[in-house]
Structure 1
Amino acid sequence: MPTPLTLEKYQVVVYLVAVAAGLAIGLFAPPTGEWLEWSLWPLLAALLYVTFTQTHLESIGSALVDRRFLLVMLTVNFVLIPILVWGLTRLFVDDPILAMGVFLVLLVPCTDWFVTFSQLGRADVPRAIAATPILLLAQILLLPFYLWLFTEGDIRADWELSSLLGAFVLIILIPLAAAWLTDLSGRHSRKVRRGIEMMAWLPVPLLGIVLFAIMTSHAPQVVGQVAGLGAVVLVFVLYIILVPWIAEAASRLAGLPPEARRTVAFSAGTRNSFMVLPIALALPTSLQPVVTVIILQSLVELLGLIAYTRLIPRMIR
């Protein structure tokens, strides 16, 4: 009998088809993309709500028990990776606007396909599920600090804080609060629990639809700007190559078992591009290249994760 895991097994195909179809339609039928652009906000809100309902916020307690694993996850994601990202941008990215896009997308660990790709890569899925809400809360608290620390003053001066806060509240905090209330209700209602179980089918198709809408509405922009983003793509490729080794070194130093070390590697390699995309979309026109940077990162990451599922089980034993 098919289960959500059956769908997740073929999610890579779903995403690649969505990306290819979106790019093709966006390039050859631009009015379709203009019509679809309005749908991005509700689609992203729905995707994050469904994803948060599967995050299992009640597992925070079990994550805190496994302190050594949690310490490694937090150290890799919020200490070592920011240092790496800062160094890569200093070496390769001269444009401060593009650097901001890199910071925005690479400083936040993923909370959705991180778990499913961990499963495909023979990592420790229970540990991944337990750590996810901690990673989510940590990035919400730390991302503003890192953006302030890393971005240049004249770029920060162009931020429209009211628009950024509005996007953050509407697309991130409200879905998170709704998911938390749904989770609380599910503890006392069998129907709600059944609804949460049924929503486990939705992240993959919803993410496919979001990818399709993003590519369709931004295809001309992505294709038109990609020639000037070689340095950014290089940073993303180097990031994908380097972070598993950093994660493995930190995990092995902490004495974690192989499956847990793979989990740390997948967490380091997956970034939360679809959570930060609404923030990028709310930026003023002068900073809109940030949107293209985030879209490019999601494409590079998707291809990298396909390779991860084959290479990381062989690399980390």
Structure 2
Amino acid sequence: MLLLPLYLWLFIGREAVNLIETTPFAKAFFGLIVVPLIVAIIIQKWGINAKVGSRLIQLSGWLPVPFMAITLFVVVASQISKLSGSFYWIGKVIPIYIAFMVIMPFISKTVGKWLSLDVPTTRSLIFRGSTRNSLVVLPLALALPSEVGLLVAAVIITQTIVEIMGELIYIKVIPDLVLRD
């Protein structure tokens, strides 16, 4: 995240400086990334030392799935009407995302063999390597000026949807075809 301005400058050039409005970007970054990260670290540290915290961590292990579904639903519902002008670009990125989802299991399997990982750990590597937390950067995309921000949001939402569909396919394909016990 700290290198994002540098990446934007490398890819876009001087125009990148004009694209990012500092105040909304900083608010989104600190409010939606830094603060939750600090809270998570505190809960995990507390969970290691306290019986109640340990139980809280165990109980919360299943929460990411429903929270991700709720988040995706809310994000798509709130942004869908604004995305109609982005279908051309969405169509351009979908094949890239699909190609990544097809290639990544084989790369992860190779890394798993190289590191002598067991089958469950290699499967975990495949699933984790094939998805990114793109919704985390969505607030930062929405902090961009409206035209660019909407396009970036459309691309991020599309990536998340393709990844979720890919993960559903992975559940069947990875154990049966790519990495058997």
Aligned-pair CA distance for 1:232: 0.9
Structure 2 residue aligned with 1:204: 65
Count of matched residue pairs: 177
1:57-84 Cα deviation digits (max 9, x unpaired): xxxxxxxxxxxxxxxxxxxxxxxxxxxx
Structure 2 residue aligned with 1:275: 136
2:158 counterpart (296, 301, 307) = 296
1:275 and 1:147 map into 2 onto residues whose CA distance is: 17
Aligned-pair CA distance for 1:269: 0.7
1:3-49 Cα deviation digits (max 9, x unpaired): xxxxxxxxxxxxxxxxxxxxxxxxxxxxxxxxxxxxxxxxxxxxxxx
Gap change, CA 1:155 and 1:243, over 3 Å in 2: farther
Aligned-pair CA distance for 1:149: 6.9
Give the partner amino acid of 1:212: F
Give the partner amino acid of 2:144: L
Task: State yes or no: 1:250 paired with 2:111.
Answer: yes
2:152 and 2:141 map into 1 onto residues whose CA distance is: 6
Give the partner amino acid of 2:16: R
Aligned-pair CA distance for 1:223: 4.3
The alignment-based identity, stated in percent, is 31
1:294 and 1:211 map into 2 onto residues whose CA distance is: 11
C-alpha contact 2:9 2:16 (8 A) present in aligned 1: no
Gap change, CA 1:204 and 1:263, over 3 Å in 2: closer
Give the partner amino acid of 2:113: R
2:54 and 2:111 map into 1 onto residues whose CA distance is: 38
Gap change, CA 1:155 and 1:235, over 3 Å in 2: farther
- Partner of 1:271, secondary structure, is coil
Gap change, CA 1:146 and 1:246, over 3 Å in 2: farther
1:211-245 Cα deviation digits (max 9, x unpaired): 22112111122344224421111111111111112
C-alpha contact 2:8 2:16 (8 A) present in aligned 1: yes
**Alignment gaps of 5+ in structure 2:** none
Q: TM-score, normalised by structure 1?
A: 0.50
- Partner of 2:111, secondary structure, is helix
C-alpha contact 2:104 2:129 (8 A) present in aligned 1: yes
1:296 and 1:265 map into 2 onto residues whose CA distance is: 20
1:290 and 1:249 map into 2 onto residues whose CA distance is: 32
Gap change, CA 1:225 and 1:307, over 3 Å in 2: same
Structure 2 residue aligned with 1:75: none
Gap change, CA 1:188 and 1:255, over 3 Å in 2: closer
Q: TM-score, normalised by structure 2?
A: 0.82
- Partner of 1:280, secondary structure, is helix
Task: State yes or no: 1:315 paired with 2:174.
Answer: no
Aligned-pair CA distance for 1:265: 1.7
C-alpha contact 2:89 2:155 (8 A) present in aligned 1: no
C-alpha contact 2:90 2:158 (8 A) present in aligned 1: no
C-alpha contact 2:109 2:122 (8 A) present in aligned 1: yes
Task: State yes or no: 1:177 paired with 2:13.
Answer: no
2:13 counterpart (153, 158, 162) = 153
1:240 and 1:214 map into 2 onto residues whose CA distance is: 22
Moved over 4 A (4+): none
**Cα RMSD over matched residues?**
2.5
